[in-house]
Amino acid sequence: MSLATLPTNISLRIVPRPAVKLAGIRIRTDMQTAREDVKQLWHDAMPEISKLASGTRDAPTYGVSWVIDAETCSFDYCVAVKSGRDSVLPEEFEETIIPAGLYAECSLPSREALYRLYNYLYYEWLPAQDESMVVGDTPCYEVYPDNYLKGGHMKLYIPIVGA
Which CATH number applies to 20-98?
3.20.80.10
Contact 140, 159 (CB under 8 A): yes
Question: What digits encode the pLDDT tens for the residues 52-86?
Answer: 776 566 688 999 999 888 778 888 999 999 887 66
Q: Which one-letter amino acid corresponds to residue 42?
A: W
Sequence-separated (6 or more) residues with CB below 8 Å from residue 111: 154
Domain boundaries, the chain: 1-18+101-163, 20-98
The sign of the torsion formed by the CA atoms of 122, 143, 3, 100 equals: negative
Predicted confidence at residue 59, as pLDDT, reads 81
Contact 62, 79 (CB under 8 A): yes
Question: What digits encode the pLDDT tens for the residues 37-61?
Answer: 999 999 999 888 887 776 566 688 9
| % of the chain residues with pLDDT over 70 | 82
Residue 123: strand, helix, or coil: helix
Predicted confidence at residue 90, as pLDDT, reads 82
Predicted confidence at residue 32, as pLDDT, reads 87
* Of residues 154, 163, 19, the one with CA closest to residue 104: 163
Contact 46, 79 (CB under 8 A): yes
* Of residues 17, 77, 29, 87, the one with CA closest to residue 53: 87
| % of the chain residues with pLDDT over 90 | 32
pTM: 0.83
* Of residues 14, 58, 15, the one with CA closest to residue 146: 58
Report CA-CA distances (Å) from 70 to 58, 67, 116. 35, 7, 18
